[in-house]
Every structure is written in structure tokens, then in C-alpha cells.
Chains A and B, each alone.
Chain A
Amino acid sequence: MAEARSGVAAEGAEEAPMDRLLRGLLALNAVSAYAFLYLPIAVLILFSFSASRYASVWGGFSFRWYIHLFRDSAVRDALANSLFIAGLASVLATVMGTLLALGLERRRGHRHAARWDAAVTLPILIPDIVQGISLLLFFVLSFSALERLLGWRPTLGRTTVILAHTAFAISYVAVVVRARLAGMSRTLEEAAMDLGATEWQVLHRVTLPLVWPGVLGGGLLAFTLSLDEFVITFFTTGPGATTLPIQVWSMVRRGVTPEINALSSLILILSIVLVTLSLAVQRKR
């Protein structure tokens, strides 16, 4: 709190030495906070290029552990699973989330609008561990019910993970698309209607092209979230459906190795690139 005071100094006409000190402290806090956020990422990425056999030792620059990583079939499988799951889940979530956002926009100001807003935010707010175990229970119980009814028992795997990821990603897509819709003028849609376009034509030819950056940004966000998701995946995955974060988890529990440095760096870089892309797309006019 003490540092927060200093900013007031900028507003004052004269700058006392005390003000300058406080302003300096404020800047120092910001610089150290950003260092705190980015230093571990930088160190991890740096050491992923170390030739040493030990994870925390610098042994000269090398791609050794990345090559090692790509030769590891478990990692390759995990990458394939992750991309497959994120691809399918983000497409499903983008379609449903966009439709939801469009539908909600129409209801703005209606009686139940606030309740719908709450429903959209709930999957974002409820802790992932609660969502994870509730889905686990749901799948296990409905699978035994299916077995009793049809004599066929599905198992936890890629499908259950896709279903689970889609459920929470819909909300994120809807929020992003709604943000885009909120900043959009209605005149074009009205004009199209007046000129005799059908509902479907307006949606398809006018509204969707206008919200497209939001849809694409939301979709990329959903893809990233699914790729990074650990807790819900942890509870809903089964044998043969290991994703990248699950792979990291099982490797880390056996110990810190240079191979995990490379894998974690790869995941971090991938998610940072994707998120940057998503944010850039959303801001496009």
C-alpha cells in the first residue's frame, strides 16, 4: 500500500524528493513483478537448450533434449492426442459458443438476461477440480448404466476428454464473441432486414462476417485452453489418452529431468504463441 501513494505525486505540481522516492518504489514494484512473472519462463527455456544431463546445470548450447523428446514415442502420442482433442473440442465449443452469444445478444434486457449471464460464467468460476470429479462420477455411472442396458461399456478416453473440454470452453468462446457483438452496430443488420433478407441470410451474410474476429479469437482461445487443461483432463482421461500436460505430470512425479525442461518449454511457447494470436485476432477491426 505504501508504494501506491507515490503515483499521486505525478498529479501534484511540485515534486518533493519523497514523492520521487515513492514513485521510484512503485516502478520498482512493477519491474520486479514482471521479472517474477517472466524469469522462471526464461530460465526454463534457457536450460531446455543445455547439453547437460542434469536439469539445472548449464552444459553448453544444444538441441539434444528436443531431439531426445521427439524420439520418445510416449511424448509423440501425447502430442497427437492433445492436438486431436483440442482440435475437436475447440470446433465444437466455437460453434455452440458463437450460437449462444448470438442468442443471448437478442435477449439482452429481457427478464432472465441476468440468469443467462450467470449460467455462462459458472463453468468459468466453478473450480476445475469440482468440474473434474463431477464429470468423472457422471461418466463412470452412466457407463455402468449403459453396460446394464446395452451390454456395452465405453471407457474413459479421448472422447470423454473432448466432451468435458467442450463443456467449459463454450463459456470462454461465448464471452469473447459477446464482447465483439457488444461493440458492433446494429444498423447493417437492420438495413439487410429492411432490404428483404431472411433471418438466415442476415446471420450468414452480415452478422457472422462482422463478428468473425471474435469467433476466430474465441476458437483459438478454446484450442489453447484445451491444450493446456490439466485438472479436468486428469479426472476424465483413461489409458491410451494421455495428453501433453498429463505426460508432463507423470514425468515430473518421477523427477526433474532435462527432457521435461524441453517438453515444458515447448508447451509454454506453444500456448504463448496461440494466446498472442488469439488476442491479436480479437482486436482486428
Chain B
Amino acid sequence: MNGTQEELTGASRFRPGWLLLPASVWWMVFFVMPLGILAAISFLRPGSPVEWSLTAGNYGRLLDPLLLKVFLRSLVMAAAATAVCLAIGYPMAYFMARQPPRLQKLLYFLTLIPLWANSLALTYAWMVLLRSDGVLERGLRWAGAIGPADDLRLLYTPASVVLGLVYWYLPFMVYPLYASLEKFDWRLLDAAMDLGATRWTALHRVMLPLTMPGIIGGCLLVFIPALGNFVVPQLMGGAKQALIGNVIQERFLSQPQDWPLGSALAMTMMVLVTAAVWAYFRYAREEHALG
């Protein structure tokens, strides 16, 4: 928008370089160094809490069948939550993007609010709704839909964990989807259909590819944090639905502690996340260059 402005006047020449200094120092100390320590500890032997000798064994220990089971469960749960978010979020973003501008702004704002609201309190709200003899069950009983002694056991199931994750991350999916649908040129669909494409083909071959950065971005924003979420499984999943986030947390705060293993788990997660995000940005840039 102000690109031309910039070219005319040159980048604002009066912003000294020291402006970057305070934040950079803070990050070095309280963001980069901690991550460095995490990386270092993931290569130390477990002791009390660590033994100062190097090993790569912690990463080997990640292949423990018990851990793999948790890892697999986390992947499945996070993938399920991502799929549900996409299935609800795409039509939702589509609906938003087709409204008049003022309504669009309002709808967008309404999806933003739960994103910033306290997620712990939101998860708790679902517990009040879903638990045995909770609001939902009492409501159904009052309406005569279930008998007085029926217990639906809605909470503490894999489904309730997925529901909690979907609720927590749905706005994260809608946000990038809406951003790419909002920019989408709707005339392209008409053009495709005028040229003889069916509606399905037009959506599938024109709209879907053009909104792919939004889809991938949304999926990453849901999948990655869902993988490390330990609040939802602990509150809505009970003891049997532990995910990878719970295992990491326990290695540091519960007995027996195992810092190196916990660090190796966290490092693996961080590397996966960084790789995914990096790939996404690369992809988005290439798309941009082509478009």
C-alpha cells in the first residue's frame, strides 16, 4: 500500500539500530538460552536430576513402545481435531467471506474473542456441561430424552478430548482460512463455470488450490499446539487419555523425574514444529511468486 511512498522517500532513515537492542537481549536471555539449555539437557544422562556426561540415548528411549503408543494417540487425536476444525471452519470462513463488509467484520470479531479468552476457563465450561449429571444430561433428562438413571458418560472419553481440542483451536483454523478466502476473486468461479466446469469442479480445481495456503496454515495452527496440549487431556480425558504434552509435563514435575527424556521429547516436538512452519512459509512464498 505504501510501497510507492517508501520508494519515493526511502525507508525511514531516522530509526536508529539500537531500537532492536532491548528486545534482542531479552530474547537471547529468556528465549534462546533456555531453548539451548533444553537442547543440551536432551543429550545428557538422567541422574538427579542430570548427570554431566553426553549421550544420544534419550532420543533412542523415545522409541519405547509405551511412549510410541502415547505419541500415536497424540497424532490421532490432534489429526482428528484438525480434521473436524477444517470441516467446520472452511464452510464457516466461506460463509463469512460472502457477507457484506460490515457483517464480515462483526463475524470475524466474534471468532476472535474465544481465541483470546482464557482457554482453561473455556475447558472448564465444557466440564460443567458434559460431566455425569452435568448441565447437558440434566437438560436431556428434564426434556424426557433420557431416563432418570441414564448416565451418558460423555466426559473422560477420546471423543471429549477431541471436542475440547476442537473448541480450543477452531478460531485458529478460521483465521487463516478467512484471510485467504477474503482475498479470493469470486469471479474466477463464474469464469470456470461459464467455461463449462460443474460447480464441484470449479470449487475443487479453482477455489481449493487458491486457498490452499490458508488450509495448510490453519491445519498447522491447530495440529501443532493440539499435539502439546496437556490441559484438555488432563481435564476432559481423565487418566487414560494422556497425550504427549502430559508425558513431557510429568517428566519434569512428577516423580520419578527424567529431565533428559522430557527434554528429548520437547526437542522432537519443537523440531517438528519448526520444520512444518518453515516448509509452510517456503510453500506460501513459492505460491506467491507464481501467483
Q: A: which residues have CB within 8 A of B?
A: 1, 3-5, 7-8, 10-11, 26-27, 29-30, 33-34, 36-38, 40-41, 43-44, 47, 55-57, 95-97, 99-100, 102-109, 116, 118-119, 122-123, 125-131, 133-138, 141, 163-164, 166-168, 170, 174, 182-187, 189-190, 193, 199, 202-203, 221, 224-225, 227-228, 230-231, 235, 245, 248-249, 252, 256, 260-261, 264-265, 267-268, 271-272, 275-276, 279
Q: How far is the CA of A131 from the CA of B263 in the complex (A)?
A: 11
Main secondary structure of the interface of B (DSSP, over half): helix
B262 touching A133, Cβ below 8 Å: yes
B17 touching A103, Cβ below 8 Å: yes
A186 touching B12, Cβ below 8 Å: yes
- Chain B residue with Cβ nearest A174: B23
Given pairs A127-B273, A249-B120, 12 additional interface contacts (CB within 8 A): A4-B203, A10-B98, A103-B16, A119-B27, A125-B273, A129-B228, A137-B38, A164-B30, A185-B5, A225-B116, A268-B125, A271-B117
A102 touching B19, Cβ below 8 Å: yes
B228 touching A138, Cβ below 8 Å: no
A7 touching B259, Cβ below 8 Å: no
Any chain A CB within 8 A of the CB of B158? no
Chain A residues near B231 (CB-CB < 8 A): 230-231, 249
Max count, chain A CB within 10 A of own CB: residue among B15, B20, B35, B107: B15
A106 touching B41, Cβ below 8 Å: no
> Which of the residues A29, A44, A131 comes within 8 Å of B128, measured between beta carbons?
A44
Any chain A CB within 8 A of the CB of B121? yes
A26 touching B109, Cβ below 8 Å: no
Chain A residues near B131 (CB-CB < 8 A): 56, 256
B126 touching A8, Cβ below 8 Å: no
Q: Mark out the residues of chain B between 11 and 70 whose CB falls within 8 Å of any chain A CB in the assembled complex.
A: 11-24, 26-27, 30-31, 33-35, 37-38, 41
A185 touching B129, Cβ below 8 Å: no
User: 1/0 per position for B95-131, CB-CB distance to A under 8 A?
Assistant: 1101000000001011111101111111011111101
> Which of the residues B12, B37, B138 comes within 8 Å of A138, measured between beta carbons?
B37
Given known A-B contacts A41-B122, A133-B248, A190 and B34 have beta carbons under 8 A apart: no
Given known A-B contacts A33-B92, A166-B30, A275-B113, A99 and B22 have beta carbons under 8 A apart: yes
The 4 closest A-B pairs by CB, nearest first: A103-B19, A106-B15, A134-B34, A264-B121
> How many residues of B are in contact with the other chain, CB < 8 A?
97
Any chain A CB within 8 A of the CB of B165? no
- Chain B residue with Cβ nearest A183: B1
- Chain B residue with Cβ nearest A2: B91
Main secondary structure of the interface of A (DSSP, over half): helix
B22 touching A186, Cβ below 8 Å: no
Give min CB distance, A217 to chain B, whole Å.
12
A272 touching B34, Cβ below 8 Å: no
A55 touching B128, Cβ below 8 Å: yes
Given known A-B contacts A26-B91, A29-B95, A184-B2, A252 and B11 have beta carbons under 8 A apart: no
B202 touching A8, Cβ below 8 Å: yes
Q: How far is the CA of A11 from the CA of B203 in the complex (A)?
A: 13
- Chain B residue with Cβ nearest A54: B133
User: 1/0 per position for B174-192, CB-CB distance to A under 8 A?
Assistant: 0000000000001001100
